[in-house]
Amino acid sequence: MCGSPRHGTAVGFIVLLNALLLATQAAEGVSTDHLLVQLHEGAQDEAHQLATQHGFHSARKLSFGEGLFHFYPQDTSKRRSKRSARNRQRLQKDRRVKNVVEQEGFDRQKRGYRDINDIEVNMSDPLFTKQWYLINTGQADGTPGLDLNVAEAWQLGYTGKGVTVAIMDDGIDYLHPDLASNYNADASYDFSSNDPFPFPRYTDDWFNSHGTRCAGEVSAAANNNICGVGVAYNSKVAGIRMLDQPFMTDIIEASSISHMPQVIDIYSASWGPTDDGKTVDGPRELTLQAMADGVNKGRGGKGSIYVWASGDGGSYDDCNCDGYASSMWTISINSAINDGRTALYDESCSSTLASTFSNGRKRNPEAGVATTDLYGNCTLRHSGTSAAAPEAAGVFALAIEANPDLTWRDMQHLSVLTSKRNQLHDEVHQWRRNGVGLEFNHLFGYGVLDAGGMVKMSKEWKTVPERFHCIAGSIQDVHKVQSGNKVLLTINTDACQGKDNFVRYLEHVQAVVTVNASRRGDLTINMTSPMATKSLLLSRRPRDDDAKVGFDKWPFMTSHTWGEDPRGTWVMEVGFQGDEPQRGALKEWTLMLHGTQSAPYIDQIVRDYQSKLAMSKKEELEEELDEAVERSLKSLLSKNN
Ligand SMILES: *[C@@H]1O[C@H](CO)[C@@H](O)[C@H](O)[C@H]1NC(C)=O
Ligand SMILES: *[C@@H]1O[C@H](CO)[C@@H](O)[C@H](O)[C@H]1NC(C)=O
Ligand SMILES: *[C@@H]1O[C@H](CO)[C@@H](O)[C@H](O)[C@H]1NC(C)=O
Ligand SMILES: *[C@@H]1O[C@H](CO)[C@@H](O)[C@H](O)[C@H]1NC(C)=O
Ligand SMILES: [Ca+2]
Ligand SMILES: [Ca+2]
């Protein structure tokens, strides 16, 4: 299913390229006292004795290869000593030894770690050093290096100039001295009270401080001795007040999302259906249309960028039940805390694309998000995934400044390619690699956004090829689901090959599902791609006891199969989890593939490769690589048989 040569070639191609790139960059290694030793049959029980006899501390049997051992010295910190050269020669002559290979020592840097002394950022703003999400030096018991890597983007000269970010929220204190100079009044509006002044409504408890805090994360001015610094501190920020009325309506949402799409580049939303773990809801008709128009016509046709907080429902909720966060047209952002763990309020789902940062679990008051607050104040305590979305909006503003031609899809590709695992850890879901080697996690998506990496890649970026949509298959028979007896369905697809809408390289995948259940919250749905990537489309939601509605043509989305070849067999599993026996009926599974026909960034990778190797013809390179991949595949296959 997953081992067909066609898939193998694509994966192999990228893997091999990476290997070649690494090989050309590899620095000179140093000699060491560590040996790879192959022993003759029958001599393997004597490995330890043999090691000590020849001046090594011990020998460790290796799990790969036949009769292979690691001979290592007592003191592992030292480089090779003179004496050890003699030891090695004697060892090599021992009749029990078949082969000896010295291990070369080389450098591997901890990912995401930078020496703080290398960062030359000088800001006069009093809260700047508390903004660990910008530059994490270990403030508030955090993990050094676990940050948005904005310093690198700033040093390259990108600060958000010429880019406008709109905060769709409860208003903005636009008189705030740290926001006033970056406030874009022309692009602002108040849809809660229908006037051009989105000033927050006063309440004693400062309830309406949300928008102001989000605005500061993006656009707070730098070096003015006030509060902190925004991620894109020279960007403009617009206020769209739309959260502060008794009811939300489709009209207000649609109006907000489609407000001045030729002026506003990025819309940041930190709201959605109630995060009570039992709601299944999404954008209505007008809002859906507004989003579709935004990505198709906004920014002169390059598309509005919609950034969405993935949700604050914690482990009891699943953001794939939130039609805003799980939309293909939004970039859904989760959060990590300052030591790399997930926040307790974080929701997980397969549609989350990447993560930024929010407040910690600890009581440490400085582990929150430092930003501007109502009435000219500052705060250290902004929180929730709400705080995560504006950080992403700020990073995307830096990317747009680096390359104003980026489309809404380019931004998603760039997020997938440059986000990092860094030092994030997830105690529940493992980090995995998808069929083309991209590392992802169910909770954090492709990892934490990296502003430096993003602006560098943006600068060189060539817009991705045209997007196509293929209905891979649809099963509409009724299948009974019961506790202890899950339903397993397959769709075998050629991904519309041979037709105009063939999809060869995936972007988003949607599984449109109709299912009812005696208890909706106990349903779980998983889907596995032909390249063996498993997406958890729906996890158990213990608080959802709906027994009537179920899911009606609900589009579950996964971003985990990004870049994969969709041809082959897709598997969907639907079942129940929980203590009480449940039953239900699966009535529809329609598989929708979205992506490109030509390889989105192979050109880019090949170009980098070429400039490194000064090779002239891409065709030559591709042929060579294809042959190499074929050869290694063949040898692999013959070994397995
Ligand atoms: C940082 O700025 C302050 C005040 O403007 C100045 O005195 C100091 O020399 C600067 N430090 C560096 C390393 O640029
Ligand atoms: C800012 O908030 C703090 C804490 O709530 C308060 O003590 C201070 O007076 C406020 N400053 C202004 C200018 O309102
Ligand atoms: C689900 O739908 C089936 C078929 O339409 C129906 O027979 C069954 O009673 C429904 N079950 C629930 C729990 O609503
Ligand atoms: C889906 O996968 C999760 C995690 O591996 C598992 O707990 C759950 O039982 C699976 N559900 C089905 C229906 O296979
Ligand atoms: Ca400031
Ligand atoms: Ca939610």
pLDDT, position 14: 41
| DSSP strand pairing (487-493 vs 505-517) | unpaired
Q: What is the pLDDT of residues 251-267, one digit of tens each?
A: 999 999 999 999 999 99
Average pLDDT on 568-586 reads 97
Do 53 and 200 reside in the same domain of the chain?
no
| Protein residue with least CA distance to atom 2, ligand 2 | 377
Distance 123 CA to ligand 1 centre (A): 8
* Cβ count within 10 A of residue 57: 14
Residue 104 clears pLDDT 80, i.e. is over it: no
Centre of ligand 2 to C-alpha 377, Å, is 6
Residue 251 sits in the same domain as residue 323: yes
- Which residues 6+ apart lie within 8 Å of 45 measured at CB? none
In a domain, 561, yes or no: yes
pLDDT given for residue 413 in this prediction: 96
Q: Is the CB of 577 under 6 A from ligand 4?
A: yes
Residue 626: per-residue pLDDT: 55
- Residue 8 inside a domain? The answer is no
| Rounded-to-integer distance, Cα 502 and Cα 485, Å | 35
Same domain, 579 and 611: no
- Determine whether the shortest distance from the Cβ of 573 to ligand 4 is under 6 A: yes
Q: Are residues 344 and 430 in the same domain?
A: yes
Strand partners, 596: 505
Measured from the CB, is residue 310 less than 6 Å from ligand 4? Answer: no
Three-class DSSP labels, 455-498: HHHHHHCCCCCCCEEEEEEEECCCEEEECCECEEEEEEECCCCC
Q: How much of the chain is in helix, strand and coil states, percent to nearest 5?
A: 30, 25, 45
Which CATH number does the domain housing residue 518 bear?
A: 2.60.120.260
Structural domain includes residue 323: yes
In three-state secondary structure terms, 632 is helix
Centre a 10 Å sphere on the Cβ of residue 622 and count the other Cβ atoms it contains. Answer: 13
How many angstroms separate the alpha carbon of residue 313 from the centre of ligand 6? 5
Q: What is the CA radius of gyration of the chain?
A: 27
Helices (H), 26-113: 47-53, 82-93
Residue 262 in tokens: 């030729």
Q: Which of 119, 120, 122 to mutate to test the pocket of ligand 1 (most atoms within 8 A of CB)?
A: 122
Q: Is 483 in the pocket of ligand 4 (CB under 6 A)?
A: no
473/454 same-domain check: no
Q: Which amino acid is at 166?
A: A
Proximal ligand: closest to the CA of 315: 6
pLDDT for the residue numbered 70: 85
Strand 523-528 to strand 568-576: parallel, antiparallel, or no bridges (unpaired)?
A: antiparallel
CATH number at residue 430: 3.40.50.200
Length of the chain: 641
Q: How far is the CA of 131 from the centre of ligand 1 (A)?
A: 19
Domains in the chain, number: 4
Same domain for 410 and 432: yes
Q: Is 373 a catalytic residue?
A: no
Cα(527) to ligand 3 centroid in Å equals: 23
How many other CB atoms are found less than 10 A from the CB of residue 23? 8
State the pLDDT at residue 132.
94
Supply the mean pLDDT for the chain: 87
Q: Which of 485, 539, 573, 586 to mutate to test the pocket of ligand 4 (most atoms within 8 A of CB)?
A: 573
**Consecutive H or E run containing 630:** helix 618-640
Residue pLDDT, tens place only, 491-544: 999 999 999 999 999 999 999 999 999 999 999 999 999 999 999 999 999 999
Ligand 4 centroid, distance to 524 Cα (angstroms): 6
In this structure, what are the phi and psi dihedrals at residue 222, rounded to the nearest 5 degrees? -100, 150
Mean pLDDT of 405-424: 96
Give the residues surrounding ligand 3 with Cβ less than 6 Å away. Answer: 478, 516-518, 547, 584-585
Which residues, listed in sequence order, are joined to residue 195 by a DSSP beta bridge?
Answer: 190
In a domain, 24, yes or no: no
Q: How far apart are the first and last CA of the chain?
A: 17
Q: Residue range 180-205: average pLDDT?
A: 94
Does the residue 6 lie in any domain?
no
Q: Which of 210, 508, 560, 594 is catalytic?
A: 210
Residues 482 and 478: their CA atoms lie apart, in Å, by 13
Look at residue 13 and tell me if it is in a domain: no
CA distances from 145 to 135, 260, 338, 384, 450 (A): 7, 37, 10, 21, 11
> Do 267 and 175 sit in the same domain of this protein?
yes
The answer to whether position 448 is within a domain reads yes
All residues at 6 or more sequence positions from 175 whose CB lies less than 8 Å from its CB, including other chains? 199, 376
> Which residue's alpha carbon is at the smallest distance from atom 4 of ligand 1?
124
Domain range spanning residue 433? 109-117+127-459
Same-domain pairing of 37 and 82: yes
Query: Cβ(375) to ligand 2 under 6 A?
Result: yes
Which of 53-67, 395-409, 468-482 is the least confident region? 53-67
Joined tokens for residue 319 = 């953001």
Residue-wise pLDDT for 75-88, tens only, equals 755 666 667 778 88
Nearest CA to ligand 1 atom 13: 122
Residue nearest (by alpha carbon) to ligand 1 atom 10: 122
Report yes or no: 88 and 36 within 8 Å, Cβ to Cβ. Answer: no
Distance CA 466, CA 145 (A): 37
Ligand 1 centroid to residue 124 C-alpha, Å: 8
Locus of tokens 């050269």: 85
DSSP, collapsed to helix, strand or coil, labels residue 286 as helix
Q: One-letter amino acid identity for 153?
A: A
Considering every ligand atom, which ligand is closest to the CA of 124? 1
Among the three residues 428, 459, 490, which one is the final residue of a domain in this structure?
Answer: 459
Neighbours of 623 (CB within 10 A): 11
Q: What is the pLDDT of residue 206?
A: 76
- Both tokens of 60, joined, read 């460790």
Please list, residue by residue across 323-342, b when 16 or more beta carbons sit within 10 angstroms of its beta carbon and e when fewer do.
bbbbbbbbbbbbbbbbbbbb
Q: Is 575 in the pocket of ligand 4 (CB under 6 A)?
A: yes
Site to substitute for ligand 3 among 516, 523, 552, 586, most atoms within 8 A of C-beta = 516
Of the candidates 386, 483, 535, 559, the residue annotated as catalytic is 386
Task: Return the structure tokens found at 535.
Answer: 């997406």
Q: Are residues 513 and 431 in the same domain?
A: no
Question: From CA 436, how far away is CA 6, in angstroms rounded?
Answer: 12
In a domain, 165, yes or no: yes
H helices present in 220-376, as ranges:
250-257, 285-297
pLDDT of residue 52: 93
Strand duo 432-433 + 439-440: pairing:
antiparallel
169 noted as active-site residue: yes
Q: Judge whether residue 617 has pLDDT over 80.
A: no
Tell me the C-alpha distance between 92 and 95, whole Å. Answer: 8
Ligand 2 binding pocket mutation candidate from 377, 380, 381, 382 (most atoms within 8 A of CB): 377
Residue 46 CA to residue 69 CA, distance in Å, equals 11
Residues 265 and 357 in one domain: yes
* Residue 68 belongs to domain with CATH number: 3.30.70
- 270 and 310 in contact (C-beta within 8 Å)? no
Starting from the CA of residue 576, give the closest ligand.
Answer: 4
H helix or E strand, kind and range, residue 588: strand 583-596
624: CA distance to ligand 5 center in Å? 54
419 and 350 in one domain? Answer: yes
Ligand 4 center to residue 527 CA distance, Å? Answer: 10
Number of helices and strands in the chain (H, E): 12, 24
Is the predicted pLDDT of residue 10 greater than 80, yes or no? no
H helices within 333-380, ranges in order? none
Q: What is the pLDDT of residue 550?
A: 97
Q: Where are the alpha helices (DSSP H) in 82-224?
A: 82-93, 150-155, 210-219
Which residues does a 6 A CB cutoff place in the pocket of ligand 1? 122, 124
From 459, 490, 505, the end of a domain falls on 459
Given the residues 33, 125, 147, 169, select the one marked as catalytic.
Answer: 169
Identify whether residues 489 and 450 lie together within a single domain: no
Query: Do 268 and 218 form a contact (C-beta atoms < 8 A)?
Result: yes
Enter the pTM of the model: 0.79
